[in-house]
Structure formats: structure tokens, C-alpha cells
Structure 1
Amino acid sequence: MMSADTTLMVMGEELLLVPERAIFWIQHQVLIVADVHLGKVGHFRKAGIAVPQQIGHEDLACLTRLINRLQPQKIWFLGDLFHSDMNADWQHFANWRRQYPDIMMQLVIGNHDIIKQQHYHDIDISTHHELVEGPFVMLHHPQNDDCLKERGKYVFCGHIHPGVTLVGKGRQSVTLPCFAFGERQAVLPSFGKFTGRVSMLHRQNDRVFGILKEKVFEV
């Protein structure tokens, strides 16, 4: 089944929200993802906790499908790309990255990106504290209102793994991953599947897009 993407205009730029929990900036051919948390499975397994190894590999397979479908020229990772210190998952990731030498990959350093940045540079991924392109700034941590006003650009970030809670008529509820677009800032869902999510408090004028397996829909 084809993915049901949603198109959104922000600051005059056309964005494609895809159910794989990523954004494709159409004019610049950039794929934007946050909080992949590769290596988290290896981190748990190294500690003796039985987690299926294929979980982490599925996230890279999902990235591969997005590359094949959208043909990005760049991929921006908004922090927490690799969850822990070096473990067995790194080599699998390095091999995956080398399959796409023509795609520029850039990482905004997150709080879990604790390995030496040279490891990223060795596989042709540049590292940054922020990325600025056109009307947008790419960060890892969400910014408060004062910081957003000072920047004067629209911020994209991750870190908090946002979710939206939907309540049914029978009081049953479900919390779905979501994209949360405020007046000056968008918070992306965690791309990695081996992560939790936090139900966010949204402001009245925010635009929130819930994510099902094959559909993005405005709440």
C-alpha cells in the first residue's frame, strides 16, 4: 500500500510529512529525521538485556525505502543518531552509509551522540551544533519563546519524541507519534522505533499531525 503523505506550507516552503516519521523539504530535496537512536539495541544487548537485533536494522531499512522513494540530495539528522558509545551496531550503520556516497548527510549533535565526532567524519557525515538553510534552523533541543524570537527563523527540532493522545467515545485512548507545528517551531517525532513518546501539551493555534502506520492526518 502506498504511503499517505501530507503536504504542508511553512514559511513559503513546501514540506512533505511522511508516515515513516520524517519530513521531506521538496524545494531543496532534503530528508529531515530526528532521534533515530541507532545503537540502542546494541547498547541493551551489551548489557545482557534480550532485545531482538533486527529492530535497529529495521530503522535503516526504513531510511533505505525513503531514499528510494524520495531521492533526497541531503539527509539531515536532528540529533540522537547513534544512541550510545561504540557497539556492534556501528559497523552495520557505517556499511549502510557507504551505499549512498552521493547523498550529503549532516548531523546536528544531540545529547545521546556521545561517540567521538571523528567517527561520523570517517564515514562522511558532517557534524554541527545547528544547521541554517533559507528560513529554517535545524536543532536538536526545542527552544523557549524568547530564544525563538531572537533567532528570527523557523526552528525544526526533536529530542522529546512528541505524541498526541486521542480519546474515543468509550473513554478508550491511544497516544500516537506526531508532528507538532507551532508558530515558530516544529517538533519532529522520533524516527527510531525502539523509543517511547510523550503526550505533548499543544497550544490552541498549533497544527498537530498524528501518524498511523501508513497515514499522516491532522488532528
Structure 2
Amino acid sequence: MEMRVELEGTECILLPEKALFWQPEKILMIADLHLGKINHFRRSGVALPDQPNEENLNRMISLIRSCEPDRVLFLGDLFHSHYNDEWEAFGQVLSHYPGISFELVMGNHDIMSRHQYEKHRLKLHDPTLEIGPFLLSHEPLEDFEGYNIAGHIHPGVRMFGKGRQRLRFPCFFFGSRQGILPAFGAFTGTHPMKPKEEDQIFIIAENRVIRVK
């Protein structure tokens, strides 16, 4: 179940697939997909299944079909490391949607040559993209004007249940001047956030977006 919120006077939809859809402008925002991370660890000798790779692409395809965006904006760390076969699988997905503009706000893991991005029709923005009331970046900015939407942090919160049970959930994190999107990619982990009084937190749990603060 999605959650509709108002940011800077415009409506945005928080999706349980861990993405944000700016519906009036038909813009889908995805942060920290980290394609290629599984293969990166495999080269280091860590045995990992293929399932997270397939899950990432399938969720992205599902969102494109359901939201029908005009633009898909990746807020950095689209690909985890150096080129591997997973990049070509991603490119094949993009080729099925010639009417959509796919754009990347560069992140610290986006280290491939410009040729690799451009051959899959990715428009690059480095280091920020200003669009409407929003200033988009990969890492949260410290000195800026407007409302900053970023990724990089992989925000999460701990929730406590019965019997001292502790669970950690990915979340959308919105302050008065800055919002941080959850990491879209599987196998990415979360970083515990420390909210201030005015901050809003929406966790993703059981395919629902739930406001907890």
C-alpha cells in the first residue's frame, strides 16, 4: 500500500517498492539500486544467489508499468562497481521503453566510463539536478537552497516488539528541508536514523508504507 505526502506544495507518492513517484510531473525517483553488487562480491569469493539481481530488475519493471512515468531519475549508485554482465541486462530493460527518459544523478559508486551510460540512453547529471522545488543529489547536501532529495544513506529505523524483539525496516526520511529515499536495491542494508522533533519517518513493511513518526 502506497502513501501520499505533500512536499513543497506538491503531491508525491511513497511506494512500498522503495521508490518515490512525483505524480503531477510523472517522474519516478529511485535511489541506490546498486546493480552488480552481487557479482562484485562473488568475484571476492562470497557465494551469493542470483535472486537479488532478478528482484531488483523485476521491481523496477513493475514500477515502470504501473506508474507509466515520463522520466525515471536514479539518485546515484545505480551500479555498484565496475562493468559486468548485469549492466547489459539492465540496458536490455531500458531498451523496451524508448519513450521514457532515464537519467542518473551521479553517485560515488558510479565509476564506469561515460560510454557505458550513454550506450543505454542514460542522461547524466553531476553532481545535482534541480527540478521544480527539488534539488536532487546522491549524497545529502549540507549547503543548498530549496528542498534536497537524496539517497546514499540507506535510511532505516529499529522497531521494538514483544519479548525485546527488535526489527529494522528501511524507511523514507523527511526533514524540514531534506528528504532521504530508501535504498532500492536488495542486499543493501540500512543505516539507523536519529530523527529530530520535526522529522517524518515512513517505514516499508509487508508491502506497505507506514508512517511511524
Match of 1:133 in 2: 131
Is 1:166–2:159 an aligned residue pair? yes
TM-score with structure 2 length normalisation?
0.96
Structure 1 CA distance, aligned partners of 2:182 and 2:61? Answer: 18
Match of 1:28 in 2: 25
Structure 2 CA distance, aligned partners of 1:187 and 1:9? Answer: 15
Structure 2 CA distance, aligned partners of 1:12 and 1:169? Answer: 39
Deviates more, 1:164-173 or 1:183-192: 164-173
What CA deviation, in whole Å up to 9, does each residue of 1:23-66 have, x standing for no partner?
A: 00011000001000001111122233211123112101001101
Unaligned runs of 5+ in 1: none
Match of 1:203 in 2: 196
Match of 1:210, as an amino acid?
I
Structure 2 CA distance, aligned partners of 1:44 and 1:57? Answer: 16
Return the offset for 1:89: 1.1
Return the offset for 1:168: 2.2
Return the offset for 1:169: 4.4
What CA deviation, in whole Å up to 9, does each residue of 1:166-216 have, x standing for no partner?
A: 112432211100000000000000000111101111111101001013100
The residue correspondences of 1:107-122 to structure 2 (distance < 5 A) are 107-122=104-119
What CA deviation, in whole Å up to 9, does each residue of 1:137-173 have, x standing for no partner?
A: 11000123xx1xxx32100000010001111243221
Structure 2 CA distance, aligned partners of 1:170 and 1:204? Answer: 28
Match of 1:143, as an amino acid?
L
How many corresponding residue pairs?
211
Identity %: 42
Is 1:156–2:168 an aligned residue pair? no
Determine if contact 1:56/1:194 at 8 Å carries over to the other structure.
no
Return the offset for 1:118: 1.9
Match of 2:78 in 1: 81
Pairing partner for 1:214 from 190, 207, 210: 207
TM-score with structure 1 length normalisation?
0.93
Structure 2 CA distance, aligned partners of 1:54 and 1:215? Answer: 22
Structure 2 CA distance, aligned partners of 1:56 and 1:169? Answer: 34
Taking only aligned residues, the RMSD between alpha carbons, in angstroms, comes to 1.0
Unaligned runs of 5+ in 2: none
Is 1:187–2:180 an aligned residue pair? yes
Structure 1 CA distance, aligned partners of 2:161 and 2:104? Answer: 39
Is 1:176–2:176 an aligned residue pair? no
Pairing partner for 1:40 from 32, 37, 46: 37
SS at match of 1:59: helix
Match of 1:211, as an amino acid?
I
SS at match of 1:27: helix
What CA deviation, in whole Å up to 9, does each residue of 1:86-137 have, x standing for no partner?
A: 1121111111111111110110110111111221111100111211111001
SS at match of 1:75: strand
Pairing partner for 2:8 from 8, 11, 21: 11
Structure 1 CA distance, aligned partners of 2:44 and 2:89? Answer: 19
Structure 1 CA distance, aligned partners of 2:162 and 2:54? Answer: 38
SS at match of 1:82: coil
SS at match of 1:123: coil
Match of 1:140, as an amino acid?
H
Q: Which runs of 4+ in 1 moved over 4 A?
A: none
Structure 2 CA distance, aligned partners of 1:67 and 1:93? Answer: 13
